[in-house]
């Protein structure tokens, strides 16, 4: 069965393509490479020893999308493509609304034209805003604090309206918590340019001496050690959650929403200390002012995904810290040798 993966050369998409191929699906990737590199396609092939079809295409481009649907017998779609930086979305809201909404609407229109009505969508725990209770359940009130989050909430609404208009659709909305880690091979992972928004890429850049010091934003939150607590999930566990979700939408019609997290929260300092211990490397940090909009604690209730998708995260915080660093060390080695040792 052939699955179209939009944003498939990105961080979560590339890991999901590996899991799809390993589970026997055929994979067609569509990505405009605005935040990823073409070489990822080859790395997916090396990891899985399977072929994958790649189209450089903007998902907003309906004309090109139609040609792809015409040529490939797409049975279902996993839609990762989109912009994801909260801070950037505050500065460039139109760019976020344009890309995230238009790509989704174009994709859904073309899917509808071709009678392909099965989709898994990447949403985010950011749609819960500042939760009143923990752990966070899927039926909690939704509220966003930035344009990026608003795009996710609007798309969730579009998908619900679409299903209400036509019960033939099968839709899974996945709300991710905080994906970190990388594939064990060290070939694919997350490597943003400049100063990262998220904690783990920031820790890794400081450990790797690309940045001098890690800024820890606030130490007066209502948590164990005063720093913010988040539910970190290994990207390979997250990718495996997509296999369960796509199997579910292939099998059953309907629309449903699932949290994908571990159900456990770690503070910023706990994550730094674990990273230092596991990788035996120093990560200098300093406490600075809180960032506006950051919340004290956030972790998922994972009961629904466990019960309905039969999925739960298996990898622990040590695995996440080790694999995140291994990816960067491996990428550095590859760059020095001109990428020659891209083999497993």
Binding site for ligand NAD (CB under 6 A): 6-7, 9-13, 31-36, 58-60, 80-82, 84, 99, 103, 122, 124, 176, 179
Among residues 235, 224, 293, the alpha carbon closest in space to that of 265 is found at: 224
* Nearer to ligand NAD (CB atom), residue 100 or residue 343: 100
Residue 127 CB, shortest distance to ligand NAD, in Å, is: 10
Q: How many residues does the chain have?
A: 344
Active site residue 148: yes
Among residues 195, 197, 85, 196, the alpha carbon closest in space to that of 151 is found at: 85
**Coil, strand or helix: which one is 174?**
strand
* Nearer to ligand NAD (CB atom), residue 207 or residue 300: 300
Tokens of 71: 């040529």
Phi, psi of 188, rounded to the nearest 5 degrees: -125, 150
Structural contact between residues 138 and 305, judged by C-beta atoms closer than 8 angstroms? no
| Residue 174, phi-psi category: left (phi > 0), alpha (psi -120 to 50), beta (remainder) | beta
Please identify which of the residues 148, 163, 202, 299 carries the catalytic annotation.
148
Residue 8 CB, shortest distance to ligand NAD, in Å, is: 7
Dihedral sign, Cα of residue 250, residue 252, residue 254, residue 255:
negative
Tokens of 137: 């359940």
Nearest residue to ligand NAD, scored by beta-carbon proximity: 10
Among residues 84, 89, 295, 261, the alpha carbon closest in space to that of 179 is found at: 261
Cross-strand pairs, 179:
233
In order, the DSSP letters of 104-167 are: HHHHHHHHHHTT--EEEEEEEGGGG-S-SSSSBPTTS----SSHHHHHHHHHHHHHHHHHHH-T
Residues that are catalytic? 148
């Amino acid at each position: 069965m052939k699955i179209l993966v939009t944003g498939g050369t990105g961080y979560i998409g590339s890991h999901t393509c590996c899991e799809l191929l390993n589970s026997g699906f055929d994979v067609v990737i569509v990505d405009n490479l605005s935040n990823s590199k073409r070489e990822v396609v080859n790395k997916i092939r090396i990891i899985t020893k399977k072929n994958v079809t790649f189209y450089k295409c903007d998902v907003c481009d309906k004309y090109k999308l139609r040609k792809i649907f015409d040529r490939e017998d797409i049975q279902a779609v996993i839609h990762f493509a989109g912009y994801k930086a909260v801070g950037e979305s505050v500065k460039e809201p139109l760019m976020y609304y344009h890309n995230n909404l238009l790509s989704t609407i174009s994709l859904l229109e073309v899917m509808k034209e071709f009678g392909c009505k099965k989709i898994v969508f990447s949403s985010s725990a950011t749609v819960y805003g500042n939760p009143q209770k923990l752990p966070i359940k899927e039926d909690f009130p939704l509220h966003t604090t930035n344009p990026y989050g608003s795009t996710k909430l609007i798309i969730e609404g579009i998908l619900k309206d679409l299903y209400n208009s036509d019960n033939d659709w099968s839709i899974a909305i996945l709300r991710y918590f905080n994906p970190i880690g990388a594939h064990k091979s060290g070939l694919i992972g997350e490597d943003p340019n400049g100063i990262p928004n998220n904690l783990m890429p920031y820790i890794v850049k400081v450990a790797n001496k690309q940045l001098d010091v890690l800024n820890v934003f606030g130490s007066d939150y209502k948590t164990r050690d005063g720093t913010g607590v988040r539910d970190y999930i290994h990207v390979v566990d997250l990718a495996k959650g997509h296999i369960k979700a796509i199997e579910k939408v292939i099998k059953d019609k309907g629309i449903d929403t699932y949290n994908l997290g571990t159900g456990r929260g770690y503070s910023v300092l706990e994550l730094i200390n674990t990273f230092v211990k596991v990788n035996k490397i120093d990560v200098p940090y300093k406490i600075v002012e809180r960032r506006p909009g950051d919340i004290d604690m956030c972790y998922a209730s994972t009961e629904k995904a466990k019960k309905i998708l039969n999925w739960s995260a298996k990898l622990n915080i040590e695995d996440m810290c080790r694999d995140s660093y291994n990816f960067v060390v491996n990428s550095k080695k590859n760059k020095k040798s001109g990428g020659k040792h891209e083999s497993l």
